[in-house]
Chain A
Amino acid sequence: MDITFNNVSYIYQAKTPFEHKAIADLSLFIPSGSFTAVIGHTGSGKSTLIQHLNGLVRPTKGEVIIGDYHLTQDQKPDELKSLRSRVGVVFQYPEHQLFEETVKKDIAFGPHNFGVPQAEINKRIEQLTPVVGLSDELLERSPFDLSGGQMRRVAIAGVLATEPEVLVLDEPTAGLDPRGQREMMDMFYNLHHQEGMTTILVTHSMEDAVKYADNVVILNDGTKYMEGKPEEVLTQRDALHKVQLDVPEMVQFINKFSEQFGYDIPYRRQSPAELASDIRQILKGGLTNE
């Protein structure tokens, strides 16, 4: 499903002394099937943007179009539930939403609400557990007996079990250790490709954006600041510094390298190994020139 924001503004507690504009005249387009990273500081409007994606809020001004669903101030889709079954959201620290007696029941909660038959739910759970890295014997345990990392996987399985077409991830790796972070992002990346989902990743990590996304949106002060391919957007050091963001570490290194050595290395999201061979080429070439 394509996602379009047309001049969307959202104001909290309008017409009170506490009025606060969270999103201001935001327009953007997220193509179906893309892996889009949304980057911005706390307060840049990311969480309000997410809430528009499955109709938790409606724009104060402007229009949000998700597939065939239109959201404006006065019209809400009759089938909010069906929108929510097609747009899955993994909120920050999703393990806080667990409540059922067993892991299995908790995973089944979403699809059950959306009217998926029990037999189908069971089938999905069976397929999902290995994908999210849970073992079968955990299914009958209470989710509250699990470790933090396992609880997070249960919560994520609960969102995936509705088989959404759009998957929204709000800092899904916060609080995990480095290996847990890597495993989790790789899992989402694989799912994205296997299932052909549209994935929207809200993150602070430039490294993750560069590694996984094919489309980047930078938010600042509730509006779009930059948008484009990661290698184009995330290399603009000065523009990013203006909104207190940094370029990925590899780009920082390449910039310093070219300043000191006088050779430009084009950034094309290369791996450290590829960068190493770029550098070797230059060092060799430099040598033959002298």
Chain B
Amino acid sequence: MNNMLIIGQYVPGNSLVHRLDPRTKMTVIFFFVFIVFLANTVISYSVLTAFALASMITTRIPIRFILKGLTPVWFLIGFTFILHLIVTNQGTVLVDIFGFSIYSGAIIQGFAISMRFFLLILVTSLLTLTTTPIEITDGIEDMLHPLKKIRFPVHELALMMSISLRFIPTLMQETEKISRAQASRGVDFRTGPLKERMKAVVPLLVPLFVSAFKRAEELAMAMEARGYQGGEGRTKLRELKLEKRDLLIFLLFILTTAALFFTRSY
């Protein structure tokens, strides 16, 4: 359970990757996800892997920590690999086990798919490992900006996201408090038949909703009192600025992409 939480949990730091503009990171990752599917030779895979591993090392987050965070994903990768071994029947038969023939093509195919999977997860988790949720929100707001023309509520969406982020810890504390109070009144959340345990959720959820609504109401009032009237005419303290390092990374990424195109087979 703990490992699950580590995927994507922000690790504070001051590395190059940490300091990159969130838009840079998101753009690079967005395109990386596409070009991963273009790799089809050992060298082209190596190019992409090198890029991913280099980024990972640059974050200065302990590699053990990152890989451990991927534990649940390892299982999926392994599963994909085995599935391919069984299903694919291209190339020559290498071995026969219990009547199953394992083909050379299966090994290659399985390896390729697992590798893609691994690279995808690794690179996307680097985004959340090195970027605070609020930076991601800012980045999304900025990148969705053109959608304002078609009346898409970009600012409202971003504000909603940032307020949710702000209130997650508060609501978690609240949940804990209420479940303590109800446990003291004899509710058993942990043992007993499933049906009973499902019923035990009601005394937890009702107060939680009631308090969340009350908070929302008070928050809305406090925001209004502080002059909030929508996105119109608002300035921003958080400013996103592209620096030289962002250009550098874009350049590196373009080079990587070019290298990929040279090394893949057509």
Does A touch B (CB under 8 Å) in the complex?
A: yes
B178 to chain A, nearest CB (A): 6
Known: A89-B184, A113-B187. A98 touches B177 (CB 8 A): no
Q: Give the size category of B's interface with A.
A: 10 to 19
Output the least CB separation between B44 and chain A (Å).
39
Q: Are A91 and B186 in contact (CB under 8 A)?
A: no
The smallest C-beta distance from A31 to any residue of chain B, in angstroms, reads 23
For chain A, what secondary structure do more than half of its interface residues adopt (helix, strand, loop), or is it mixed?
helix
* Interface size classification for chain A: 20 to 34
Enumerate B70-111 residues with CB–CB distance to A below 8 Å. Answer: none
Chain B residues whose C-beta falls within 8 Å of the C-beta of A113 in the assembled complex = 185-187
Q: In this complex, which of B180, B183, B186, B203 has the most chain A Cβ atoms within 10 angstroms of its Cβ?
A: B186
Q: How far is the CB of B179 from chain A (nearest CB, A)?
A: 9
Enumerate chain A residues within 8 angstroms of B178, measured Cβ to Cβ. Answer: 96-97
**Complex Cα spacing A97 to B182, Å:** 7
In the complex, per-residue mask of A76-91: 1 if CB is within 8 Å of any chain B CB, else 0: 0000010011001101
Task: Kindly specify which of B19-27, B153-161, B204-212 makes contact with the partner chain.
Answer: B204-212
> Whole-angstrom distance between the alpha carbons of A114 and B177 in the complex?
20
Q: Mark A52-95, 1 if CB is under 8 A from B, else 0.
A: 00101000000000000000000000000100110011010010
Q: Would you call A99 and B207 a contact (CB within 8 A)? A: yes
Least Cβ–Cβ distance between A154 and chain B, in angstroms: 13
* A96 near B211: Cβ-Cβ < 8 Å: yes
- List the A residue with the shortest CB-CB distance to B187: A113
How many angstroms from the CA of A35 to the CA of B58 in the assembled complex? 61
Q: How far is the CA of A158 from the CA of B181 in the complex (A)?
A: 11
Tell me which residues across on chain A come within 8 A of B54, comparing CB atoms.
none
Asked whether A91 lies within 8 Å of B210 as measured between CB atoms, the reply is: no
A51: interface (CB < 8 Å): yes
B184, B187, B203, B206 — which one has the most chain A CB atoms within 10 A of its CB? Answer: B184
Within 8 A of A (CB), among B164-194: 177-178, 180-188
Contacts of B181 in A (CB 8 A): 89, 91, 94, 96-97
* Residue A230 CB within 8 A of the other chain: no
Name the one of A88, A96, A162 contacting B177, with C-beta atoms under 8 angstroms.
A96
Q: Determine which of B180, B186, B210 lies in contact with A110 in the assembled complex, contact meaning CB atoms within 8 Å.
A: B186
Q: Report A's interface with B, CB cutoff 8 A.
A: 51, 54, 56, 81, 84-85, 88-89, 91, 94, 96-99, 109-110, 112-114, 144, 158-159, 162
A-binding residues in B (CB < 8 A): 177-178, 180-188, 202-203, 206-207, 210-211
